[in-house]
Chain A
Amino acid sequence: MNMSARLFGGLSDSQRLFLRRYGPIFAVYGFIIVLFIIGATQSERFLTVRNLTNVARQSAFLGIVALGQMLVILTAGIDLSVGSLVKLSILISAIVMNGESANQGAAIIATLGLGLLVGLVHGFLVNEVKIAPFIVTLASLGILRGISLSISTSPVGKASREFIMFYVQKVGPIPVIAIMFAVLLVLTWLLLRYTVFGKYLFAIGGNEEVAHLSGVPVKLVRYGVYVICSVTASITGLLWLSRMGVGDPAIGDGIELQAITAVIIGGTSLFGGRGTVIGTLGGVLLLGITANLLVMLGVNQFVQGLIQGIIIVAAVAIYKQEGD
């Protein structure tokens, strides 16, 4: 008998199912609350509007790519290339924009177009050439990074004034970027819950053969999911341009691992077919707040990686308890 079965002994089947499914997510949010309490008591600067705004904005950066990553992982795939694509996106957008607001539209279209193209290539290689997603996107991690660094190893291009202002814009106390993340979050939730496409992601990740035999357009859905994931990376590249003001090729490294970490902490199964948007949000917030709090408390930044590793193991251990 596993731990959850013992804990949830006296409940009805549906209550037990609910707890088994969402219990670990409550644990993640419980941990976030604990972090808040630690922050509020141990640091004077943590619970200030200024800092929380900061946390929200930074979480949005990670959150947007995490949403795309989650969709891919739901199909039992993975996308390792998003960090490199963020890097190439910030360069392309900065170069095209070149400091002129008149070029904004062109820069956005070019960048999103880049995401679309990369996603289609991933979809093609996975679907038609039948290469494992890990390998396809590992290759494109290297390729996109290589292209970026051969464009420039030092900052190039420039954002327009308005585009830079976007980063600091707020509605009341809430940064526009955080609102944008919230909207994408809700859209993803709706997509998974209320659309055929969303159900097909679970079906493919759950049992691709059954999905195929049931008439699910597996290839089409997979093209869609890799395109969405790459486009979230392009969007993140644009947000980074707004933040940095220039096309800085140092941006982007390691974002893919952060995103995958957040998704896993959020309870999405790496084998596909299981995961929730609310869980991914929890994973993003947990990572964002931990990083922020460690800075606030003056902890050596190298310790951050260590703590993140511990969080991953702890989270996955908790999810294991839900096992059949």
Chain B
Amino acid sequence: MIKLAIYGKGGIGKSTCTSNLSAALASLGKKVIQIGCDPKADSTINLLGGDPVMPVMDYMREYDEEPDSIDKISKTGFGGVLCIETGGPTPGLGCAGRGIITTFSLLEQLELFEKVKPDAVLYDVLGDVVCGGFAAPIREGYAEQVLIVTSGEKMALYAANNIYTAVRNFEDRSYAKVRGVIMNRRNVEDEEQKVRSFADKAGIGIIADIPRSADIIKYEDMGMTCVEGDPECDAAKQFIALAKTLIDEDEKNG
């Protein structure tokens, strides 16, 4: 099974990349679960035609009890991707990281993986690995590989390096390992060189090169991924190629 956690600086395009990758994996016949791990709960919205799923934390807040079935906290989106959002506490209150752990425990209790039997699970995680909760997706039993989304912008690369360092700090634990970088271009000067310099220094590869594309914005405005909107556009082709790479690797690893 492909188990990925996608990290990166806030606003860098993690949800866009994750949703497109989920859509690409689904279009290649894979059963995919995407779990948004961000209090904003907007990770899966473009897989759902702009009609969001009720986040787990919202469910608990509204009903004051845990949901007793997966249906209550999930929705099926493009290509059959099962969409789940952890959500979070009321902004300014509580602990968002803890919300992720609570959601994961709940999904385990509801036997999500046993019942859905996915081929791929993608965790779209808010920003940096800032605390225990935001490291939960890379713990044993969850993601096995981390993809870091970055552009050539200085602060995006800074965040990417922080994420890389944080994951490396856990290398003596059975946590996920960094698989590579998704270069999400912002058309910065010498962008490729800057991202490659970071990746080389860290000893990781650039696994996908996503062009700055009006198609992505156009289809997001329509509540969909560009893989759904136009699988032949350049950006979609990159996501589909990345999906193929990951599938091949997974099959090779048995």
A binds B: no
B residues near A, CB below 8 A? none
Binding site for B on A (CB under 8 A): none
